[in-house]
Amino acid sequence: MSEIISYEPATGKEYWRRDISDVDEDVAAARAAWPQWASQPLAKRSEALRRFANEVRAKSEELAKCISSETGKPLWESRTEVEAVINKVDISIKAYSERTPQRSLDNALSGKMALRHKPHGVMAVLGPYNFPAHLPNGHIVPALLAGNTVVFKPSEKTPATGAMLAELYAAAGIPADAVRLVIGGPNEGKGLVAHKDVDGVLFTGSAHTGLAINKVLVSQPQKIVALEMGGNNPLVIWDTPKIPDAVSIIIQSAFTTAGQRCSAARRLIVKDSMYDELISELKKTTDRLIIDEPFADPQPFMGPVIDGDVADGLTESFLALLNRGGKAIKHMARPKGDLPFVTPAIIDVTAMKERPDIELFGPLLQVIKVSGFEEAIIEANNTRFGLSASLIGGSPELYNQFWANSRAGIVNWNRPTNGASSGAPFGGIGLSGNHRPSAYYAADYCAYPVASVEVDQPRATIGIGLSAPQTHFE
Annotated catalytic sites, by residue? Answer: 228, 262
Interatomic CA distance for residues 355 and 115, integer angstroms: 49
Across 142-177, b (16+ Cβ under 10 Å) vs e yields: bbbbbbbbbbbbbbbbbbbbbbbbbbbbeebebbeb
CA-based nearest residue to 203, from 251, 168, 250, 152: 152
Tell me how far apart the alpha carbons of residues 474 and 472 are, in angstroms, rounded to a whole number.
7
What's the N-to-C CA distance of the chain in angstroms? 89
State the greatest distance between any 2 C-alpha atoms of the chain, in Å, as a whole number: 110
In one letter, which amino acid is 157? K
Per-residue b or e along 275-284, where b marks 16 or more CB atoms closer than 10 Å to that residue's CB: beebbebbee
What length does the chain have?
474
Pairing type for strands 122-126 and 200-204 reads parallel
**Spatial CA neighbour of 265 closest among 341, 401, 339, 368:** 368
Residues paired with 447 in a beta bridge? 119
Phi, psi of 87, deg, nearest 5: -65, -20
